[in-house]
Amino acid sequence: MKTLLVGSLLLANISSSYGAPKGTDQSINERFKNLELLNKVIHLVEENYYRQVDHEKLIHGALKGLMSTLDPHSAFLDKNIFHKMQEETKGEFGGLGIEVTQKDGILLVITPIEDTPAFKAGILSGDKIIEINGDSTIGLSLDEAVEKMRGELNSTIKLGIAREGVDGVKYFSIKREVIKIKPIKAALLNEGILYVRLISFQKNSADYIVKEIQKNKSDLKKNKKNLNGMILDLRSNPGGLLTEAVNVSSIFLDDGVVVSTEGRDPKAKEVRYVKKLGHKELDLPLVVLINGSSASASEIVAGALQDFNRAIIMGTTSFGKGSVQTVAKVSDDEGVKLTIAQYMTPKGRKIQALGITPDVVLGNLPAEWVKKNQVSKSYVRESDLRNHLTATIESEKEKKERLKKSVKSFFSKTKEGKKFEPLNDYQVMQAHKYIQTFKVFDRIKQK
């Protein structure tokens, strides 16, 4: 997966040996024979191609082809890409704000990051980018396509999009901007349940969540109320910093493994543990929402909380980006991005290409559609009978208030284009209801 906002790289050093190849005599001879073949082809091209060729360009092309035989995430990084890669994961830069990958040679949008130029322009998850400024993306590597989408601040890029269910190519003109992302959006819902949407795992994401929890706890305490639960929304979160995935998980876990890696060498296993220090919410009822665009760090958090039975995971199966990339410097200006391992959940489950399967599978239906299509039936209740006996004596003022609320509720409608309201989101509604049942089950247990 590649992103124009945040990456999901584990930056590390690779101990490389550039000496004689290791292996049996036969394998060494085969390697030298293949290297000789490569050298012959390069020499043949340089001597006989009908135009003068750039030797550096030729070698770089060979290296890119070499890396493309491995997997979509491994790549040779020329000086331009290598330099710009250092800008990722800082939370502020010029760009579009889309997470992309490559499938069957087609550039595919995993998710547009909320409040970024791509999001505002109307780019959707699942869109296929087939043109960049009028040039076809067919045949481009993932890094080459991403490089073409980069540009100067406030410059405009034109993307040609193929979208399922839409005939022809749909064109979008998007202005590149300095993207400043506050990693969370939050709202206190009914019944003292906190909704937190984590947009990306950038620096200090966990601190933002903790501050939101503390703020709402304090506000509720002033009114002699408690925080009764939390919904952590990781839908369409493309990932980001591994350290922040550990930090977010550590808010809700006491100890243990958050994530480990499985690499070529079993002895080189890396393990990331729950942080003992910092704010802890070990008993707060928790629901985590994920979908097919939740990737990388999102899947690490969801997998850890699921393995420890610390949260109920709801939504749809996540993207399945569970491989670990490292960047190795091979010259002063160039590098190689190489897949070196796979992420494992605390119970040893692999994420790569499998994703995290929710405990409760829940389609993302439009809330208005649900309201419109739900089967409803009117019942005559005791309170509808004329001169019915009330449980308590209702004053005229209370009666007027009750009737006023009833009428207001009956005629209230949600307008299209209104700012996102968590409880107008079907999956959030269901998560909210789920948390409300926790108290019921606690009462049953205590009996």
Q: Tell me yes or no: is domain 184-323+341-361 CATH 1.10.10.10.
A: no
Best CATH choice for the domain 92-180 from the list 2.30.42.10, 3.90.226.10, 2.40.40.20, 3.40.50.1370: 2.30.42.10
In the residue annotation, 321 being an active-site residue is answered as yes
92-180 and 184-323+341-361 share one fold? no
- Per-residue pLDDT of 310-352, as tens digits, reads 999 999 999 999 998 888 889 988 999 999 999 999 999 999 9
For 77, the token pair is 């990084």
Q: Among the options 249, 296, 298, 318, which is catalytic?
A: 296
Structure confidence at residue 16 (pLDDT): 45
Q: Among the options 249, 318, 321, 337, which is catalytic?
A: 321
Domain residue limits, the chain: 92-180, 184-323+341-361
What's the predicted TM-score (pTM) here?
0.76
Q: Which amino acid is at 294?
A: S
- Residue 365 belongs to what H/E stretch? none
Distance CA 67, CA 69 (A): 5
Question: What does the angle CA 426 – CA 288 – CA 125 come to, to the nearest 5 degrees?
Answer: 60
CB count, 10 Å around CB of 236?
Answer: 25
- Mean pLDDT of residues grouped by 10 in the chain (447 residues)? 40 47 78 94 95 93 92 87 64 75 87 87 93 92 83 91 93 89 89 94 95 97 95 93 96 98 88 97 97 94 98 96 89 91 96 95 71 59 61 66 49 42 87 87 67
In the residue annotation, 307 being an active-site residue is answered as yes
In the residue annotation, 296 being an active-site residue is answered as yes
Q: Among the options 141, 307, 323, 337, which is catalytic?
A: 307
Structure confidence at residue 243 (pLDDT): 95
Distance CA 347, CA 210 (A): 26
